[in-house]
Amino acid sequence: MPGIVLVGAQWGDEGKGKATDLMGNRIDAVVKFNGGNNAGHTIVIEGEKYALHLLPSGILTPGCTAIIGNGVVIDLGVLFEEIDGLEARGVDTSNLVVSSSAHIVTPYNRTLDKVTERFLGSRKIGTTGRGIGPTYADKMARTGIRVQDIFDETVLRAKVVGALEFKNQVLIKIYNRRGFEVDAVVDELLSYADRLRPMVTDTPLLLSQMLDAGKTVVFEAGQATLLDVDHGTYPFVTSSNATAGGACTGAGVPPTRIDRVIAVVKAYATRVGEGPFPTELLDEDGEKLRQIGAEYGTTTGRPRRCGWYDAPVARYAARINGVTDFVLTKLDVLTGWEQIPVCVAYEIDGERVEELPAGQREFSAAKPIYEYLPGWTEDISGARSIEDLPDAARAYVLALEAMSGARISVIGVGPGREQTVVVHDLV
């Protein structure tokens, strides 16, 4: 089972980091294929908490090659901060490899992300302010700076001059800000070159060789299906392809090398930032989910919007990604509700609609139609097999499985690595 894609099924923060970590020493490499330090993955190992942003989760598994793929955008300052933070805690990061074609988040793009959001006012996206959108925009406009460019000062300088000719006009004339000096930007990027050089390689070639040798590779998505720039709730999305197809372009492997697609889905739903969210709870149930589930962003610390499980969203994720297995996380958070609403369809303009509508206007107008499932009161955080779950919790899982379009292979009952029920092995 060599090529495994792992994606988020909802709006992010489903527990992808924990899911990758669970596969542990059965995998040889983990590739991050999209996004940048907008992502935040919390992994808890023997009570120790690690928060990763740019580094693939595999960095915490001894012997696993951690790969930052060509589809990622890298803030080099953040990369080295994260490496230093892990090294200081005794984690060996020497197994990190970086694509020479990944794009770099420049200082002017960090600024542009923040000032654009302020400029948009009530039309803002609610970005993480990490420069992700402007960096992907440069990539598509063919004015981006790539990892390989910082090893050639002449090329780098020419690119920065070209970029700033335009960006400084925007910053000064539209946003009333100061522009950036070419030398300052070039010097900052060059300052990382020596340290970065030994990590950089042709990652699509490395991956092809690993897969040929029968190694097991996990392609780990940042963000999630409904934040995908093509398949999400556009324009309230991130600027990359976070769905399974993105693994091929973002890592440089053909679709024929993907054997399994795992989607991580929370037993309820959360979203950070703006955009439609049909099952959102603005009442005390929402607050209760946020408190019990500790639903505050790993990257920005923002409170996450919380709501009930949305089965049409899960079915959509199953279809768009070709999901073979779901990892259902945070079932423990639902302990204590007398009954648990699950959205089974929407009412849109007076009609019952079973699938996610393709139109953004329709999705924004969608009202959830709920089915109410019986709750449970027993503490389930110690469950290690499906038989350990109370009948109502097991029935909840089976009901979700029946309405979500793929089998549920793993159930999370707590943040710890061991707080997991495995129904079918992932690897």
Catalytic residues: 13, 41
Per partner kind, with CB cut-offs from 5 to 8 A, the member of ligand IMO, ligand GDP, Mg ion, none near residue 3 is: none
State the residue number with the nearest CB to ligand GDP: 412
Select the span of 220-228, 369-377, 379-387, 414-422 touching ligand IMO (CB under 6 A). 220-228
Cis peptide before 235 (omega within 30 of 0): yes
Identify which of residues 37 and 65 has a Cβ nearer to ligand GDP in the complex: 37
- Minimum separation from the CB atom of position 51 to Mg ion (A): 9
Q: Which residue has the tokens 């000096």?
A: 181
- Find how far residue 32's CA is from the centre of its chain: 9
329 in contact with ligand GDP (CB under 6 A): yes
Identify which of residues 14 and 138 has a Cβ nearer to Mg ion in the complex: 14
For 35, which DSSP code? Answer: B
58 in contact with ligand IMO (CB under 6 A): no
Per partner kind, with CB cut-offs from 5 to 8 A, the member of ligand GDP, Mg ion, ligand IMO, none near residue 125 is: ligand IMO
For residues 132 and 140, is the Cβ–Cβ distance under 8 A?
Answer: no
Select the span of 7-15, 25-33, 188-196, 402-410 touching ligand IMO (CB under 6 A). 7-15
- Alpha-helical (H) ranges within 170-237 are 182-190, 193-196, 203-212
13 in contact with Mg ion (CB under 5 A): yes
72 in contact with ligand IMO (CB under 6 A): no
| d(C-alpha 89, C-alpha 112), whole Å | 34
For 174, which DSSP code? Answer: I
Candidates 30, 66, 102, 132: give the one binding ligand IMO (CB under 6 A): 132
Select the span of 64-72, 125-133, 386-394, 412-420 touching ligand GDP (CB under 6 A). 412-420
Identify which of residues 10 and 116 has a Cβ nearer to ligand GDP in the complex: 10
Identify which of residues 2 and 278 has a Cβ nearer to ligand IMO in the complex: 278
**Identity at 21, one-letter amino acid code:** D
| d(C-alpha 117, C-alpha 128), whole Å | 10
Our CA angle for 422, 254, 257, nearest 5°, is 35
Identify which of residues 54 and 206 has a Cβ nearer to ligand IMO in the complex: 54
For residues 59 and 41, is the Cβ–Cβ distance under 8 A?
Answer: no
Q: Which residue has the tokens 């999705």?
A: 363
Q: Which residue has the tokens 């790539």?
A: 146
Token reading at 208? 């092809």
**Cβ neighbours for 246, distance < 8 A, ≥ 6 positions apart:** 33, 34, 71, 221, 228, 240
- Minimum separation from the CB atom of position 335 to ligand GDP (A): 10
44 in contact with ligand GDP (CB under 6 A): yes
For 322, which DSSP code? Answer: T
- Minimum separation from the CB atom of position 15 to Mg ion (A): 8
Token reading at 147? 């990892």
Q: What is the x/- site pattern for ligand IMO, positions 239-278, by CB under 6 A?
A: x--------------------------------xx-----
300 in contact with ligand GDP (CB under 6 A): no
332 in contact with ligand GDP (CB under 6 A): yes
Q: Which residue has the tokens 């000032």?
A: 115
For residues 72 and 105, is the Cβ–Cβ distance under 8 A?
Answer: no
Identify which of residues 6 and 160 has a Cβ nearer to Mg ion in the complex: 6
223 in contact with ligand IMO (CB under 6 A): yes
Identify which of residues 49 and 367 has a Cβ nearer to ligand GDP in the complex: 49
For residues 62 and 94, is the Cβ–Cβ distance under 8 A?
Answer: no
For residues 392 and 375, is the Cβ–Cβ distance under 8 A?
Answer: yes
Which residues are at the interface with ligand GDP (CB under 6 A)? 8, 12-18, 40-42, 44, 298, 329-330, 332-333, 412-415
